[in-house]
Structure 1
Amino acid sequence: MEQGIICFENARFSVITENLIRCEYSESHSFLDAQTSFAACRRYNGCEYYVNPTEESLEIRTGEVRLIYRPDGSGFTAGSLYGELGGGAWHFGDKDEKNLGGTLSTLDGVDGYRKVDDGLLSRSGWFVFDDSEGVPIEDGWLKTNVNRRETDIYLFSYGRDYKKALKTLFYVSGKVPLPRKYMLGSWYSRWWPYTEEELLAIAGEYDENDFPLDIMVIDMDWHHHDWKYRDNEECRRHKATYGYGHAGNLGWTGYSWNRNLIPEPQRLLDAMHGRGIHVALNDHPHDGIRSHEDCYPAFMEEMGLAPESGVNLEFDVGNRRYMGAFMKSALSPLKEIGVDFFWVDWQQDYVKPYIKGTRMRHIPWLNRCYYEYTRGDGKRGASYSRWGGIGDQKYPMHFSGDTGSTWECLRFEVEFTAQSSNVGLMYWGHDTGGFFGERNPELYVRWTQFSAFSACLRAHSERAKELDRRPWKWGDAETKAMRTAYHLRSRFMPYLYSLAYSAYEDGLPMIAPMYLEYPEREEAYENPQQYRLGPAVLCAPVTVPCAANGLASQHVWTPDGVYYDFFTGRAYGPGSHDFACPLAEFPLLIRGGVPVPMQPYTARMGSAILKELVIRLYPGEAGECILYEDDGISEAYQNGQWLKTRLAGRREGEAVVIEIEPFGDGYAGMPQTRRYTLELVGFGRALSPDHDGETSFEDGKTTVRLGEYPIRENLVITLR
């Protein structure tokens, strides 16, 4: 018997780690060894465990779990499977009343608080994942028409070690890979029938109005659909006559460019790429490739069928041949002319709840298919779609859906986004400002501030003239405030991308609820309005309108150490604090003593090479931070092609010492030299370095611009 596997009568138990045991029950002894969407690796990790079988029962013990199985002829029951999880008693079927919540597959239609599904983390110290309906995946594809009758559950036991729980999840279910770096940048998206000229003009307006832009998303008007029908040959030839007719439109699905709006797609894509802007297309694939599409003949030939038949095949995501022909015929021509990735906008579970021959929803498999398809050509996979459940963390990023534009929804999204990390979901992209609702400039500013310090800064809205989310169209004060937020996003990009790598390598969420770091502190569970953004940043977005005095309130709990308001420089020790914030400010607190890697503002934050590293430091206990860099686009980081730089700060009497220690093999395109700028804030006086450089002191901040150094050179800089 394979190590870690214990069989006892009609049950099989798999010790995977010391805090994870898989429990299967099957009358026919038909146990599943194939992968599922959830289970990517069930390999025993070598932990110590103890097995005590008797004629009537089986006991399994690890350092974290005590499990007893006493068969009673009825499968797993509360009386037959029980033990100790998370330091307390547990019985099969127990309801966890202390679960800390997880996420939802979508926020479509949400305009306020919603109850979320359970997550992995619980104050009970345990979690049970039921994979009994998990569809087997063999040879890289799901198996249809499999009638699973066994019980298949995973017992997680972790006590208050929430970080260990997440690492265990990623061990069994798969890590969260690094997204393409530019996907962490600035997105513009709008459901609007833009022409080629208008899209290029908007790209230019971003530069003219001093806003960064990394991604241009073209919603469904890039292809033909009923609501943009014109009585001309182009539209008549591409008019859909078959399909589900979602919301009275047969044209949600489409793969033929609308040349009434975009006559030369290649020209548009080349122009965008020439400006350093990536392009994504909206895709509602539910109607598949129909007879009016330009790609229909090639698709039918790939399927071994006659194009002249005019047959419209059902979209069949579970059929390997169909999906291969679909990707090759519909998506490859788009990819070949420069489309960078696709926004998969599946909303049709109300019509087709499950993939044919399975009990699997469409989204988890669609996300896998699109992510894997976009891999290759030296690039990481890229997906943007709704959440497909635990296991879908392997295919970032995720689209939260069409939300209402309300203060209540913004308030909920802040808590929801941090809470979603409890299931390993690290990269939510929201409709900043909300998708539908009334025009509210102040609300849009506050939502932008939240998005600027989350995983994705994406502007999007419905087909309403007054909701165009170009940030310079919302009033002078609002534009200035949003420009500040966008610029901060650009300046913090080296830090944010380093957090993205930590999510992959260490399983630590970019956006984490406070209890992940402080599980024993009651306050950590009582302040969902704030979140940790890595080791150096604490953020509490403003989610209420300004009072008559022009200030908006927010409450912040600082657990330990000293934190500094990024905007005012004011210091806050441990405790609870009330903030009153003007429109352009919000509680963005930097931990004293931890050097923060930043960069000068750049309009293409997600693809700019880090030629000048800005290190910002506030007074506090000695701390450090790891700057992570790679090529931003390939999977070479998984093979060690990266550069890390340890940044450390400490006090030596009246002096401040900053250490810069690069290490690693480097990466393709890495610059060989770089400049350094030091920003020391809150030290109360001007500081002078022991290295040559330009030094200035203004508004309590010492700025030191050092010269250019080899990128691999260690530096120790003392300032007095």
Structure 2
Amino acid sequence: MKSIFICTILFLCVTFLHAQQKPNEVRDDRPTMIVSGAARFTLLTSHIIRMEYDSTGRFVNAPSFVVIHRDLPAIPYTQINQGQWLIIKTSTMELKYKIGSGKFNQENLQITYKQANGSPILWHPGMANNENLKGTFRTLDGMNGDTHEGDTIPTPFQNGLLSRNGWYLLDDSNNFLFDNSSWRWVKKRNNPELDWYFMGYGTNYKAILYDFTKIAGKIPLPPRYAFGYWWSRYWNYSDDELRTLVEKFKQYNIPLDVLIIDMDWHTAGWTGYTWNKSLFPDPEKFLQWLKGQHLKTALNLHPASGIAPTEAKYTEFAKAMSFDTTGHKNIPFECADKKYMSNLFNIVLNPLRKEGVDFWWLDWQQWPYSKEIAGLSNTWWLNYCFFTEMEQQTNLRPLLYHRWGGLGNHRYQIGFSGDVVISWKSLAFQPYFTATASNVLYGYWSHDLGGHWFGNVPDSLKKIDPEMYTRWMQYGVFSPIFRTHSTKDPRLNRVIWNFTGDYFNALYNAIHLRYALAPYIYTMSRKAYDTGISLCRPMYYDYPQNKEAYALKDEYMFGDNMLIKPVVTPAINGLSTVKVWLPAGNDWYEWSTGTLFKGGQIITRKFMIDQYPVYVKAGAIIPMYDDKVKNLQENSKDLIVKVFPGSSFSTRLYEDAGNNNDYQKGAYTFTKIQTEKEGNKVLRVTIYPRTGAFSGMIHNRNIEVQLYGSVIPDSVVLNGRLLSYNTDKKNDTWNYSGHDLTVHIRSNDVSCNSKTEFEIYYPSKQVDINGMIGEMHRLKKAVAFLKNSGSPIPDMLSGVNQTDIRIEYHPTHFNRLIHEFAMYYPQVGDLINQTIVNPSIAKQCSYYLYNY
């Protein structure tokens, strides 16, 4: 019996020890929370581990300002106790913690992250994240480029989530929490010790941004109208002046969506809530008139001074706050006071919204922290209060226009970047600043396009530089929010009808291009909601292994299919020079010139004022609107499917109701659009039946397929039916435009729920038109320059200059006309030099023609 007993004991001991060594396989349906004494580890995603240490064992489960979701689906893991160590393994990470060893330090905690290429990243507490790719900062107020006016040291960025180290540690230990009331309010942590989130990703930057949205919330989709043109100017506009302004926009055929009225709308100084009746005799009627013009309206707010005795709502507000009005003092502002903020909305602001105000420009510039709760950022908390209060009131999509308050503020949308100095340096800094903010998911910076104030320059230089303003507006087309603004200065009235010639044309075209790109922009913004990948993002998201992606900081991707290299320096002799890196992996099509470039090279290019360096992935399909769209409040029935030269491609068009929250509940549609090439002879463009549904969606649309930079095809077939060539642009016909060498195919009243297929058949022998769009454009500019200088125009030059019109008149002569253009264009310079008496004029013409 004794031997049996001893054997039994030995068996149990061996079994116990074996159990300590063998991994405990945990199924997906088990919790992913592991407690070891005063330490708790939560496996949130395959890239994120939460690590808490609390000596009292009262771990935090309430949402924090940054991390609002932790109840995520379980992920597979194994857990073993190996000697003194707790070891937790997932498919990508291994965590080791020395059991019972106290607060985390480099001796008792380490994480190994396994990259896709197999190489590990080893992390322990105290390691420096010295290759952080940065995030953003609160404001560009007073900045001239990357420094404040008069300073020489660049303004530091806050760290972002992404780093070339391949990891990031979010220390949430001292962050505020939300309570569990119906309108969740701020509460302090009772026992902040350690609350860390380790994020491992290597170079898979997109994966960690997506995972961060799982724990920190998605980037809300702004209302569709927010992607249109915003007119804003600090000026004491009156009712009749704004009506005249809006009518001028109509007169010049300028689309417009948002009208911002700066702070002179109210009677007080910086802080005010009562309409100035000398400027707006009947505010409600004025606001309703704006709605009849299909415009959205925002008013500027500076709430720091509280509620003054001069305010119309002062007595009512004081009563609600039990405030002693003896002495007629201001009712002090305090955004951490829930009673104050509730009354501010219920008594003061919501009645203004009922009159017709759509959203607020909340411009907080005063003390940084709450006077009631130490350390609470007024900017961060105001963003939360205004956005969530709007969210609770109606099903209309909340929109807030304010400053960056810190990590987690991506949930409150559009940022006002502040009052920058008008300079090329400021323009040059904004593309990098905007794209880098996507590293903290703050993807909707809105800039004062054109700059805000003149800065410290002599009065003689305080005037609008039309070239700089044009280039700033062109950049604005390819930025998140398209908004102009300036300080109260009569020299800064930048309505585009104050510009002339090429500047007016370039500005006009820029605004219309912004509206044309609305379907693409809106689709990419939906992608930002779904994935955390912002509309404007750095090149290293897609090309993390390339040094150029990090070095060329002002180059960025605009959505998935466009690469932008902004013009940020003045032109020399009418041409602006840029150096562009075109990544390998696909070819790139230079939109403004119709030139196809191989990927994997750096090129130097020159552009005229009405050209911009936009590079589209070869073969890309860009959904667009036509020039009939005047605002973005409704989905247009007219859709352009623009197809760029290249290989087969596929994309999706996203649509929803535009200004409600139903998009979060599945009320939206996607339409797949695909091209297939059979060598150079056949191109098939297929628009598939849309999937999904939402209230008010259109059922039929007019479709125009545009094959940009294309030779003339032999024939076009729509759904098996041969289409006729017709220059009258009738339904179910096609034709060709010579100025942009584009095939236009139209089909009206097409069901959105049916498949539509276009087949384009090309000749077996095709002429080379690569770059010819740009050459035709250059030639027209040169001829116009000669005519304006009074120089004679040789017949041969005039004839070559009419190639685009000749093609449209005689499409069957396409090959001959293209051959002639290609033959004569190189000779034009010599012809000009031989016939133009003034050598400086001839030299300028040649410069226009051949510098690109």
Alignment of structure 1 residues 634-653 onto 2, 5 Å? 634-653=660-679
- Give the whole-Å Cα distance in 2 for the aligned partners of 1:58 and 1:71: 6
1:665 is paired with a residue of what secondary structure?
A: strand
1:677 is paired with a residue of what secondary structure?
A: strand
- Give the whole-Å Cα distance in 1 for the aligned partners of 2:243 and 2:715: 47
Deviation string, structure 1 residues 595-652 (Cα, Å, up to 9, x no partner)? 1100112453322432111001122121111100111001111122112110111212
- Give the whole-Å Cα distance in 2 for the aligned partners of 1:679 and 1:465: 43
- Give the whole-Å Cα distance in 1 for the aligned partners of 2:704 and 2:274: 50
Q: Which residue of 1 aligns with 2:435?
A: 418
Partner amino acid for 1:322?
A: Y
Q: Which residue of 2 aligns with 1:671?
A: 698
> Offset of 1:288 from its aligned partner?
2.1
- Choose which of 350, 357, 365 in structure 1 pairs with 2:381: 365
Q: Is the 8 A contact 1:132 1:148 kept in 2?
A: no
> Offset of 1:258 from its aligned partner?
0.8
| 1:150 and 2:183 correspond | no
- Choose which of 555, 567, 571 in structure 1 pairs with 2:579: 555
Q: Is the 8 A contact 1:614 1:676 kept in 2?
A: yes
Alignment of structure 1 residues 43-192 onto 2, 5 Å? 43-54=71-82, 56-70=84-98, 75-85=103-113, 87-113=120-146, 114-139=155-180, 140-144=183-187, 146-192=189-235
> Offset of 1:568 from its aligned partner?
1.5
Q: TM-score by structure 2 length?
A: 0.79
Alignment of structure 1 residues 320-359 onto 2, 5 Å? 320-349=338-367, 352-354=368-370, 356-359=372-375
Q: Which residue of 2 aligns with 1:571?
A: 596
> Offset of 1:536 from its aligned partner?
2.0
- Give the whole-Å Cα distance in 1 for the aligned partners of 2:395 and 2:373: 35
Partner amino acid for 1:132?
A: S
Alignment of structure 1 residues 607-626 onto 2, 5 Å? 607-626=633-652
Partner amino acid for 2:373?
A: G
Q: Which residue of 2 aligns with 1:195?
A: 238
For CA contacts below 8 A with separation 6 or more, give which structure has more relative contact order: 1
Deviation string, structure 1 residues 267-293 (Cα, Å, up to 9, x no partner)? 211111111111000011112222221
Deviation string, structure 1 residues 182-225 (Cα, Å, up to 9, x no partner)? 11110011111111111111111112222221000001101123
Deviation string, structure 1 residues 150-197 (Cα, Å, up to 9, x no partner)? 121110001111110101110000001110111111001111111111
> Offset of 1:53 from its aligned partner?
3.0
Partner amino acid for 1:685?
A: I
Q: Is the 8 A contact 2:45 2:211 kept in 1?
A: yes
- Give the whole-Å Cα distance in 1 for the aligned partners of 2:714 and 2:348: 61
| 1:398 and 2:409 correspond | no
Partner amino acid for 1:347?
A: Q
- Give the whole-Å Cα distance in 2 for the aligned partners of 1:688 and 1:530: 40
Alignment of structure 1 residues 312-711 onto 2, 5 Å? 312-349=330-367, 352-354=368-370, 356-375=372-391, 376-437=393-454, 438=462, 439-547=464-572, 549-559=573-583, 560-574=585-599, 575-602=601-628, 604-653=630-679, 654-686=681-713, 688-691=715-718, 692=723, 693-699=732-738, 700-711=741-752
- Give the whole-Å Cα distance in 2 for the aligned partners of 1:662 and 1:367: 40
- Give the whole-Å Cα distance in 1 for the aligned partners of 2:48 and 2:337: 33
- Give the whole-Å Cα distance in 1 for the aligned partners of 2:501 and 2:49: 58
| 1:28 and 2:56 correspond | yes
Q: Which residue of 1 aligns with 2:252?
A: 209
- Give the whole-Å Cα distance in 1 for the aligned partners of 2:498 and 2:261: 20
Tell which deviates more after alignment, 305-314 or 525-534.
305-314
Q: Is the 8 A contact 1:185 1:490 kept in 2?
A: yes
Gaps of 5+ in 1: 226-250
Question: Structure 1 residues 143, 526: closer, same or farther in 2, change over 3 A?
Answer: closer
Partner amino acid for 2:425?
A: E
> Offset of 1:30 from its aligned partner?
3.0
- Give the whole-Å Cα distance in 2 for the aligned partners of 1:82 and 1:290: 56
- Give the whole-Å Cα distance in 2 for the aligned partners of 1:399 and 1:688: 51
- Give the whole-Å Cα distance in 1 for the aligned partners of 2:329 and 2:389: 26
Q: TM-score by structure 1 length?
A: 0.93
Q: Is the 8 A contact 1:121 1:422 kept in 2?
A: yes
Partner amino acid for 2:609?
A: L
- Give the whole-Å Cα distance in 2 for the aligned partners of 1:603 and 1:189: 21
Partner amino acid for 1:142?
A: W
Gaps of 5+ in 2: 1-28, 147-154, 455-461, 724-731, 762-852
2:717 is paired with a residue of what secondary structure?
A: coil
Question: Structure 1 residues 12, 397: closer, same or farther in 2, change over 3 A?
Answer: same
2:236 is paired with a residue of what secondary structure?
A: coil
1:389 is paired with a residue of what secondary structure?
A: coil
Question: Structure 1 residues 52, 718: closer, same or farther in 2, change over 3 A?
Answer: same
> Offset of 1:148 from its aligned partner?
4.2
> Offset of 1:74 from its aligned partner?
5.9
Identity %: 32
Higher CA-based Rg: 2
Q: Is the 8 A contact 2:32 2:42 kept in 1?
A: yes
- Give the whole-Å Cα distance in 2 for the aligned partners of 1:95 and 1:374: 41
Deviation string, structure 1 residues 227-276 (Cα, Å, up to 9, x no partner)? xxxxxxxxxxxxxxxxxxxxxxxx21110011111111112111111111
Partner amino acid for 1:368?
A: Y
Partner amino acid for 2:299?
A: L
> Offset of 1:71 from its aligned partner?
6.2
- Give the whole-Å Cα distance in 2 for the aligned partners of 1:524 and 1:424: 19
Alignment of structure 1 residues 37-48 onto 2, 5 Å? 37-48=65-76
Q: Is the 8 A contact 2:642 2:707 kept in 1?
A: yes
Alignment of structure 1 residues 226-305 onto 2, 5 Å? 251-305=269-323
Question: Structure 1 residues 602, 643: closer, same or farther in 2, change over 3 A?
Answer: same
Tell which deviates more after alignment, 435-444 or 620-629.
435-444
Partner amino acid for 1:586?
A: Y
- Give the whole-Å Cα distance in 2 for the aligned partners of 1:188 and 1:709: 35
Question: Structure 1 residues 272, 372: closer, same or farther in 2, change over 3 A?
Answer: same
- Give the whole-Å Cα distance in 2 for the aligned partners of 1:670 and 1:308: 57
- Give the whole-Å Cα distance in 2 for the aligned partners of 1:444 and 1:69: 57
Q: Is the 8 A contact 1:6 1:12 kept in 2?
A: yes
- Give the whole-Å Cα distance in 2 for the aligned partners of 1:290 and 1:55: 68
Deviation string, structure 1 residues 540-587 (Cα, Å, up to 9, x no partner)? 11011001x200111112223222222221111112111101111111
Count of matched residue positions in the alignment of Structure 1 and Structure 2: 692
- Give the whole-Å Cα distance in 1 for the aligned partners of 2:490 and 2:501: 19
Tell which deviates more after alignment, 318-327 or 519-528.
519-528
- Give the whole-Å Cα distance in 2 for the aligned partners of 1:255 and 1:150: 43
Deviation string, structure 1 residues 399-431 (Cα, Å, up to 9, x no partner)? 111111111111111011111111111111111
Q: Is the 8 A contact 1:643 1:662 kept in 2?
A: no
- Give the whole-Å Cα distance in 1 for the aligned partners of 2:563 and 2:159: 25
Question: Structure 1 residues 2, 365: closer, same or farther in 2, change over 3 A?
Answer: farther
